[in-house]
Amino acid sequence: MNDAAGRIAAARRVTVKIGSSLLIEGEDVRRAWLDSVAEDLAALRAAGKHTVVVSSGAVALGRGKLGLKRSARLDLKQAAAAAGQPRLMAAWEAAMARAGIPTAQLLLTVEDTESRRRWLNARATMEVLLREGALPVVNENDSVATEELRYGDNDRLSARVAQMIRSDVLILLSDVDGLYTADPSREPGAEHLPFLDAIDETIEGFAGGAGSAGVGTGGMRTKIAAARIARGFGCATIIAHGHAANPLRALQHGARATVIAASGSPAGAYKQWIAGTLEPAGSVTIDEGAVRALAGGKSLLPAGVRAVGGVFERGVCLRVLDPAGREVARGLSAYTSAEAQAIAGCVSAAIAERLGYSGPDELIHRDDLVLV
């Protein structure tokens, strides 16, 4: 299944990145086009797929609003982003409301995607939004980012977002229908590449090395960098043309694109990430029945917990120990240490009464658990 349509059909979670050039014309949003994207996103939802959008456009809209000229100066870009972001979100909000889907805004920085704690918090927010049927619309928090610590391009940010929500597919909508052997706007003879199973130096060379066509805009280079990140955690990347109406539907109907395959699956990579936690924040000791349940692929319920070690927040990685103190698993805790202590040994039906509020039935959900 090397075509974009097949990948999208099989995906459970999809991240879509939309560049400024698609969204904005002159100084305003291409509203009719955005309505068509909203329709496509609603169709993905109706097909049971969880979708997140990474949308550029704040800087371009803010420039128009403030009457600023194009400039490479970071402070001017930051001011433009601050002025343009509300306009960008207003456009998304209006388009998605017409499609019957509530939107939510997340502004992320490099730090949010690099620090484990902030990552987990952003992820938890995203999960609730997806569960509640909202469309998270993400952009870089340009106004607080620094020169040394900013993505600067939403291609790589979208790969991190795809990782955060465990997307199977990352769709980069651009003004070109994929990767060519050279920049097609400069070399008419350049060949289109429909499918890549790996990213090597030759491929990176196509996307424009230093001093060649890609410099300045980010161009294909940041898209290949994004595909490389996505590939590493089990997510395929699709680079596609997005300028015409209903660009996602067009892809689902076989429009030409470049597909870059993933290595492994998002779930596998996620579990590797959990297993690779250097310093788990605490531990839970479980009884024999729970050890058997985990070995059988079940979640860890509070009923099987005998003791809780350490002081920890929700979402952190815990060691799961058998009655003899041997580590049998690792997983992300759905509760804080204080809560875990309060509900240890407790049947699921009694959790709400014990805590005074309701919470998940599982202390560690099987999706967040890996046997060691």
Ligand X SMILES: N[C@@H](CCC(=O)OP(=O)(O)O)C(=O)O
Ligand Y SMILES: Nc1ncnc2c1ncn2[C@@H]1O[C@H](COP(=O)(O)OP(=O)(O)O)[C@@H](O)[C@H]1O
- Residue 80: CB atoms within 10 Å: 24
Q: CA-CA distance, 80 to 56, in Å (whole number)?
A: 12
Q: Taking CB within 5 to 8 Å according to partner kind, which of ligand Y, ligand X, none is near residue 174?
A: ligand Y
* Site size for ligand X (CB under 6 A): 15
Kindly tell me which of 245 and 346 has the beta carbon lying closer to ligand Y.
Answer: 245
- The pair of structure tokens assigned to 80 is 């433009």
Asked if 301 and 290 count as a contact pair (C-beta separation under 8 A), the reply is yes
The answer to whether 59 contacts ligand X (rule: CB under 6 A) is yes
**What are the residue ranges of helices labelled H in 145-279?**
154-164, 201-206, 219-232, 247-252, 266-275
Residue numbers in the known binding site for substrate are 56, 142, 154
Interface region with ligand X, contact rule CB under 6 A, candidates 53-61, 253-261, 300-308, 341-349 = 53-61
Residue from the set 57, 214, 280, 302 that interacts with ligand Y by CB under 6 A: 214
Asked if 222 and 19 count as a contact pair (C-beta separation under 8 A), the reply is no
Sign of CA dihedral 35, 40, 41, 46: positive
Q: Taking CB within 5 to 8 Å according to partner kind, which of ligand Y, ligand X, none is near residue 214?
A: ligand Y
Asked if 260 and 231 count as a contact pair (C-beta separation under 8 A), the reply is yes
Q: Taking CB within 5 to 8 Å according to partner kind, which of ligand Y, ligand X, none is near residue 179?
A: ligand Y
Alpha-carbon torsion, ordered 84, 125, 264, 47, to 10 deg: -80
Helices and strands (DSSP H and E) totals, the chain: 15, 15
Alpha-carbon torsion, ordered 93, 60, 85, 50, to 10 deg: 50
The answer to whether 184 contacts ligand Y (rule: CB under 6 A) is yes
The answer to whether 96 contacts ligand Y (rule: CB under 6 A) is no
Q: Taking CB within 5 to 8 Å according to partner kind, which of ligand X, ligand Y, none is near residue 312?
A: none
What are the start-end ranges of the E strands in the chain? 13-18, 24-25, 28-29, 50-55, 103-108, 135-140, 169-174, 195-196, 236-241, 257-260, 282-286, 305-309, 317-321, 327-332, 369-371
The answer to whether 57 contacts ligand Y (rule: CB under 6 A) is no
Kindly tell me which of 56 and 252 has the beta carbon lying closer to ligand X.
Answer: 56
The answer to whether 218 contacts ligand X (rule: CB under 6 A) is yes
Kindly tell me which of 143 and 337 has the beta carbon lying closer to ligand X.
Answer: 143
Kindly tell me which of 140 and 339 has the beta carbon lying closer to ligand X.
Answer: 140
Quick note: the x/- pattern for ligand Y over 154-183, rule CB under 6 A, is: --------------------xxx--xx-xx
Residue from the set 19, 136, 247, 266 that interacts with ligand Y by CB under 6 A: 19
Q: Facing residues of 259 across strands?
A: 195, 238
Q: CA-CA distance, 160 to 166, in Å (whole number)?
A: 10
Site for ligand X in 93-152 (CB under 6 A): 139-140, 142
Interface region with ligand X, contact rule CB under 6 A, candidates 50-58, 187-195, 310-318, 354-362 = 50-58
Residue numbers in the known binding site are 17, 56, 142, 154, 174-175, 217-223
Kindly tell me which of 59 and 107 has the beta carbon lying closer to ligand Y.
Answer: 59
Site for ligand X in 4-33 (CB under 6 A): 19-21
Asked if 51 and 101 count as a contact pair (C-beta separation under 8 A), the reply is no
- Name the residues that contact ligand X, by CB under 6 A: 19-21, 56-60, 81, 139-140, 142, 153-154, 218
